[in-house]
Structure 1
Amino acid sequence: MNYKENLKNALTGQTVERKPFVSVTQLGTIDAMNHYGLKWPDAHKDANQMATLASSLYELAGLECARLPFCLTVEAEALGCDVNLGSNERVPEVEISPFEYADDIEATDDFTKRGRIPVVLEAIDILKEKYEELPIIVGITGPFTLTGHLLGIENLVRYMKTDIEEVEIAVENCVDVSMDYIEEIQNHGADVICVNEPTASPELIAPDDFKSLIKPNLEDLADYIEVLKVLHICGSTQPIIKDMATCGFDGISVEEAVDIPQAQKEIIEDNCVILGNISTSKTLLSGNSDEVKGDVKKAIDDGIDILAPSCGIAPNTPLDNIKAAISERNEYFNL
């Protein structure tokens, strides 16, 4: 099976013999790290370790992709933020930002040579050399979420209420930053780019604000991305599912809170497929194999186009549960 072609066909709405099972979100697990003798934060900083961990669930469980990096702080760090790289059980997070105002946000000429961006790009090269038929998925931080990293969530929330123009300028500047990064990711041969925009969840931002403020910038990013592209937003995204589907991405990645049959009805004319929505917390992390298999079967029965974890895989997720999920997909399609 050429997993790259199968994913491409599924993302472009073509008929596939079996639904792909991938992850467009974080997939590093402690079980995989222990198997290969890896650890965080080292695998965030070393290209060889990053490539090994990115493909670990393919090698160990049959997940049909390599996916990197394992956090949403790469761009912020390259722009000058102080990032705590965390530990085996905690992903990196931004601690201090040098930015206070929207106009301050600007990528330097050497932006893509700073921080861990060169590590990500080298890891893509390593994966491209090793796997000809395995899709390489690269996650980037959405412009609204990146704005929150740079200005601080408290400032962002305050500006949303008192100075929306400041937010608009900041997000537009973050789009420019993202485009510089996207160009390099594409030059290095990534097959899919996933724009992760967790701060745009309806649980945090009103649907009307998503439509007026965030959607236009996501449309600009989608237009700029030349490879296959997916938009991931966390939480209960049912209220914005139509707007997500019309941003211009090939697929939208959703959590288990989304009613898949209803979502499919809403986007039936939009040339956009749905990825998800296997629960990362209730089943993959905390459930047993039967519960995991039940989740997978339900997602397929509900009409999911591409199977994937509903959000970033928790580091403590048992490898056996990942194997059980893929086993159920295989049994469903008589593989």
Structure 2
Amino acid sequence: MNTKDEIVDVFDDQPGDGCPPPAVFTQTGTAGQMMACGAYWPDANFDARGMEALALQFSRQFGFATARVPYCLTVEAERLGATVSPGRDNSQPSVVDSPFRTGDMVPGPVPDDLITPDEFVSGGRCAMVAEVAGRIMRDHEDLFVTAGMQDPSCVAGQILGAENMMMGYMLDPDAVRAWVDAMVPYTCAYGKLLSENADNVTVIAAANTDLYSPEMYADLTESQLRRTLSSISCFSTIHSCGRSFDFIDSLVTLGADGLSLEASHETDKYMERVAGRCKMFGTVNPVQTLLMGTPEDVVAEARRSAVAGFDIITPECGVPPMTPDANLLALSQYRER
């Protein structure tokens, strides 16, 4: 049986008595769960009761001791004025436009009339996500609740456009840095709010070496992410999509309790580099194994992750919406099978 206590023990450096527990700290919504509980995307991304019902279904259906909200990466950008496409029942919301996308390669100056950080967290889906997480914590004390958010660089990339941000940095680094720095008060306020309503805050970090050079990471991610993490009063996790190996020596120093990185193709290499300096969560491949594999594949990869030394066995990125129920059940039960 999976329990909240064994997850907390990992975060608290308490020795366990067996294989590491399974959990999910990234996106959890799937079509099978939506059908089972009646809370479907896109509504469950924008309605508090639907969001809560779908979050709770993950434990009820598969036996995980975790719940996680939200299911997308558009909450902060929408609150800052971006236009969001709601997605469909099998696809997540996405940012499609923003008043700050001028068409120029170099972003304009940060406006003086942005909403304040207090306004940012007191309304919209920022407030709703915190409300849902807090209600789950209060009403379901047996569940380890994770709330997700993005770091300043990711938020800036959403509202400016990722391609514009990359090109803009090549032409005028100061202009892009000004936008990223301007996002820090918002992510700090949001991190603080979420940490008051969750057991763990997972921060999506801009630490993908396919997109960020070492110079860009140092300029646009490192200090801004550190400041965001310092605002979080509960447990915290850094998650980065893509290859983050070259940034591990920095990531382990930023103040998070654990790292969730895409390491399934280079597991030993990642674990050797981390060298016990931070908790490691992973590393079941969400596409090749969870989505396209069999339950036996899931169990095998979960067991390999445990042998490799991962502290909690999790998907290394968000759960694909069309993941079969049987594969999520297998992950939850990998220790018993």
2:105 is matched with none
TM-score (norm 1): 0.92
TM-score w.r.t. structure 2 length? 0.92
Q: Would you say the 8 A contact 1:20–1:64 is kept in 2? A: no
Paired letter, 1:154: E
Q: Does the aligned pair in 2 maintain the 1:2–1:134 contact within 8 Å? A: no
The residue type equivalent to 1:90 in the other structure is S
Displacement after TM superposition at 1:216 (Å): 1.1
Equivalent position amino acid for 2:10 in 1: A
Asked whether the equivalents of residues 238 and 259 of structure 1 are also in contact (C-alpha less than 8 Å), the reply is no
1:237 Cα deviation from its structure 2 partner: 1.6
Match of 1:260 among 256, 267, 277: 267
Q: Distance in 1 between matches of 2:6 and 2:157?
A: 36
Kept after mapping to 1: 8 A contact 2:242/2:262: yes
Q: What residue number does 1:99 align with?
A: 100
User: Partners of 2:267 and 2:230 in 1: how far apart?
Assistant: 26
Does 2:176 correspond to 1:175? no
Where structure 1 has 5 or more consecutive residues not aligned to the other structure, the ranges are: none
Q: What runs of 5+ residues in structure 2 fail to find an aligned partner?
A: 102-107
For 1:40-189, what aligned pairs fall within 5 Å after superposition? 40-100=41-101, 101-104=108-111, 106-108=114-116, 109-187=118-196, 189=197
Counterpart code for 1:142? D
Aligned pairs for 1:1-335 (under 5 A) are 3-17=3-17, 18-100=19-101, 101-104=108-111, 106-108=114-116, 109-187=118-196, 189-197=197-205, 199-257=206-264, 259-268=266-275, 270=277, 272-331=278-337
Q: Distance in 2 between matches of 1:64 and 1:81?
A: 34
Equivalent position SS for 1:226: coil
For 2:16 and 2:334, the matched residues in 1 are separated by 17
Judge conservation of contact 1:261–1:303 (CA < 8 Å) in 2: no
Distance 1:252 1:58, change over 3 A: same
Q: 1:281 is aligned with what amino acid?
A: V
Aligned partners of 1:275 and 1:308 also within 8 Å: yes
* 3-state secondary structure, aligned to 2:259: strand
| Alpha-carbon distance in structure 1 between the residues aligned to 2:260 and 2:12 | 14
Distance 2:223 2:265 in 1: 23
Matched-pair contact (CA < 8 Å) for 2:65–2:142: no
Q: CA RMSD in A?
A: 1.8
Query: In structure 1, what is the Cα distance between the partners aligned to 2:145 and 2:66?
Result: 6
Q: Residue by residue, what CA displacement relative to the aligned partner does 1:290-318 show, whole Å, maximum 9, x if unpaired?
A: 11111111111111111111111111001
Q: Secondary structure at the match of 2:305?
A: helix
Aligned 8 A contact 2:263 2:270 in 1: no
By how many angstroms is 1:330 displaced? 3.3
CA contact (8 A) 1:238 1:258 kept: no
Aligned CA distance change for structure 1 residues 117 and 318 (closer, same or farther; 3 Å)? same
Alpha-carbon deviations, 1:152-202, whole Å to 9, x = none?
Answer: 122201121011111221111111111121222233x211000012x4311
1:2 CA drift (Å): 8.2
1:34 is displaced (CA, Å) by: 0.1
Q: CA deviation at 1:268?
A: 2.7
Counterpart contact for 1:107–1:177, Cα < 8 Å: no
* Aligned partner of residue 253 in structure 1, secondary structure: strand
Distance across 1 between alignment mates of 2:13 and 2:252: 13
> Does the 8 Å contact 1:8/1:228 carry over to 2?
no
CA contact (8 A) 2:284 2:315 kept: yes
CA distance in 2, matches of 1:260, 1:13: 22
Q: Percent identity?
A: 30
In the TM superposition, what is the alpha-carbon distance from 1:102 to its structure 2 partner? 4.6
Equivalent pairs, count: 328
Letter in 1 for 2:291: L
Aligned structure 1 segments of 4 or more residues deviating by more than 6 angstroms: none
Secondary structure of the residue that 2:194 maps to in structure 1?
helix
Q: CA deviation at 1:234?
A: 0.9
* Kept in 1: contact 2:24–2:315 (CA 8 A): yes
Cα deviation for residue 227 of structure 1 reads 0.8
In 2, the alpha carbon distance for the partners of 1:144 and 1:40 equals: 27
Looking at structure 1, the residues matched to 264 and 2 of structure 2 have their Cα atoms a distance apart, in angstroms, of: 31
CA distances 1:115-155 after superposition (whole Å, capped 9, x unpaired)? 22232122123212321121110000121111111111222
Secondary structure of residue in 2 paired with 1:328: coil
CA distance in structure 1 between the partners assigned to 2:222 and 2:300 by the alignment: 34
1:257 deviates by 4.1
> CA separation in 2, counterparts of 1:317 and 1:254?
20
